[in-house]
Structure 1
Amino acid sequence: MKDDALDPELKAMLQAAAAATGGPSIRELPIPMARAAYRERYLARGLRPPEREVAMTEQVLALPDRELPARLYRPASMPEGKAAPLVIYFHGGGFVVGDPAAYDHQSRWIADRLGVAVLVPDYRLAPEHPFPAAVDDAWDVFQAVADAPDRWGADPTRIALAGDSAGGCLTLVTALRAAGERAGPQPAACLSLYPVTDYTDRCGEVWPSITAFGKGYFLDQVMLDWFADLYFLRNEDALAPQASPLRWPSVAGLPPVVVVTAGYDPLRDQGDAMAQRLAGAGGVVEHVQLSDMIHNFPGYAGLSAGAATAFAQVVDRLGVHLQRR
């Protein structure tokens, strides 16, 4: 593999993984075990929690026809009773694995670094809840928070959306839907990390980066297919704009958006295309291209100083947009 620009610590990690004869991939496990393995690995390899105290409380979001668990993180330094910025963070995991517990260290880290509250909803996952369940959950969570900001101690003008991979897709789709309903609440800013934005590979077309980096970089093409097979009941569902936001009819009217792509990520090209389309619509778009990173690099930030620095860089960009309001 051509990896001259790859972060050295990530490169060493990939080489060690390729040489190992370890256990099965998560796709080879029963779904409950796959989710447990993902959680364990994300916590073990990812960011370390901050030294300063960040309080976490278990929450229940009352949505129109269901309840959804969530975790709310608040830095101990955040004054009680004062409305503060709030980031709704949608975790990654291909719409099949991942949960707020897996992202516990990362959520505490974001809350501490930006001095904001972080709400991580436990949105519904496939195969038990195929598309569009996760999309519906993301939209209803944003509406619930925006409609009752006092409950969350949130400044209604500084509610941001963020997420990675599958969660990066949910971030974009939620913001695009809000922009289309101009009379409703709007997010203050968005951070979309290495998002999936287009599933045309389900119908025969494949993005070049999927071919180039679809093997040997942890997230491989077989894994992408496994996730999509579980998420979609029909291939044609994958082409709906709610699944493939690159196909959204109009991408105008969004708040400031930070789109992050990684040089060695199978999803790189479609993330780049999304950033370019948003910029072409006249929005405030920061496209951060991390040429030396892989997909899900925050999940390896405990093993790579470069990955930790890169994640700090992009999270800080979200903080700048929240401070400007």
Structure 2
Amino acid sequence: MTDSTVNPPAAPSWLSPEARAGLEVPITRTPYPPLDDSAAWQEFIGQVDTMVTGMLAGMPSLAESALIDADGVPTYVVTPPGAPTGDDAPVFLNIHGGGLIMGAGDLTRVMTEIGAAGNGVVNWAPDYRMPPLHPFPAALDDVATVYRALLAVKSPDAIVVGGGSAGGNLAAALLLRAKDEGLPMPAALVLNTPEVDLTESGDSFTTLADVSVGLQSLREANLLYAGGHALDEPYLSPLFGDLTGFPPTLLTGGTRDLFLSNTVRMHRRLREAGVDADLHIFDGRPHAGFGNAPEELAVTLETRSFVHRHLGLG
């Protein structure tokens, strides 16, 4: 099989030239390796990680980073400029995205440094294990280990858990598991266009298939991650879990995001469970955001305001 390409529709005219340019690039769909070919998956993941590293090379970051061992899980501690520090300082447990298969190693640090300025507090970013060598539940085990390590040194009301895309999956799954294990909830939860339904049953997986720049169906990657488990199990697809008792949650997404259905359905499920959930959908925003375009500032400010409000930072 070879790559296939489609041209998305013209971007909304009111967006900035930078945003429009990002929305009108051809959408390339790349076939995945066979599920049982571990070597081919490792090669595929390495190629994508290299491509993403190049794309992020021009994104500015002034954050300082240190790599720690959080009870056996390598974890980057990222401190953006002006973030409160010290024993009582709050922490954002930042779970990186990457389709549950990509973004490991130094790329975890790079992505966290770029995003940390948006929330303005110290970030802990687990470099969690992933397929093909480590399928489910390895990644969830790792983020749960780091959450327990955080709870050993921080009050739960000084912790916010969050992530984008696959990181949103693991963030929500972490809280389901924390409930099951009797661990306290954090002060808040941030889900940026979360991959909370690995079955991809939502409407936007059909309606936005030829619109969502930068993201194609991840069904094969989801099967690789699941390692033989049913994709609708709540720890794999938190959309189908019991969300009662979740902390206040911020959800963000966009009208050109393949995961739009994930975001709006998760918001509705949270509301039905009695959770205080805020939803912000931005016109024209793709899955990976507007990048350096000015429209992305609104997303950053909403996230920062939400995080600081629930951490009592004003």
- Normalised by the length of structure 1, the TM-score is 0.80
What is aligned with 1:217?
Answer: 212
Determine helix, strand or coil for the equivalent of 1:30: helix
What is aligned with 1:48?
Answer: 60
What is aligned with 2:221?
Answer: 227
| Structure 1 residue 112 displacement after superposition | 4.4
CA contact (8 A) 2:81 2:120 kept: no
> Number of paired residues?
296
| Structure 1 residue 276 displacement after superposition | 0.5
2-structure distance, mates of 1:181, 1:324? 29
Q: Does 1:321 align with 2:310?
A: yes
Q: What are the ranges of 5 or more consecutive residues in structure 2 without an aligned counterpart?
A: 1-7, 34-42
Deviates more, 1:212-221 or 1:170-179: 212-221
Amino acid at match of 1:48: P
Amino acid at match of 1:85: P
Q: Does 1:160 align with 2:153?
A: no
CA contact (8 A) 2:85 2:122 kept: no
CA contact (8 A) 2:118 2:303 kept: no
2-structure distance, mates of 1:161, 1:112? 16
1-structure distance, mates of 2:105, 2:305? 21
2-structure distance, mates of 1:315, 1:268? 21
| Structure 1 residue 140 displacement after superposition | 1.7
CA contact (8 A) 1:197 1:246 kept: yes
1:116 to 100, 113, 121: 121
Determine helix, strand or coil for the equivalent of 2:136: coil
| Structure 1 residue 225 displacement after superposition | 2.6
What is aligned with 1:264?
Answer: 256
CA contact (8 A) 2:254 2:282 kept: yes
- Normalised by the length of structure 2, the TM-score is 0.83
RMSD over aligned CA atoms reads: 2.8
1:134 to 139, 162, 165: 139
1:15 to 24, 30, 45: 24
What is aligned with 1:296?
Answer: 288
Q: Measured at CA, do residues 44 and 305 of structure 1 come closer, stay the same or move farther in structure 2, by a change above 3 Å?
A: farther
CA contact (8 A) 1:73 1:117 kept: yes
| Structure 1 residue 296 displacement after superposition | 1.6
Higher helix fraction: Structure 1 or Structure 2? Answer: 1
1-structure distance, mates of 2:191, 2:53? 21
What is aligned with 1:61?
Answer: 70
What is aligned with 1:237?
Answer: 230
Give a deviation string over 1:158-208, Cα, whole Å, max 9, x none.
1110100000011111122323444x232111101101111234xxxx422
| Structure 1 residue 136 displacement after superposition | 1.7
2-structure distance, mates of 1:282, 1:156? 20
1:33-112 paired onto structure 2 within 5 Å: 33-41=47-55, 43-44=56-57, 47-50=59-62, 54-62=63-71, 67-75=72-80, 77=82, 81-99=86-104, 101-102=106-107, 104=109, 107-108=112-113, 110-112=115-117
CA contact (8 A) 1:39 1:102 kept: yes
2-structure distance, mates of 1:80, 1:307? 27
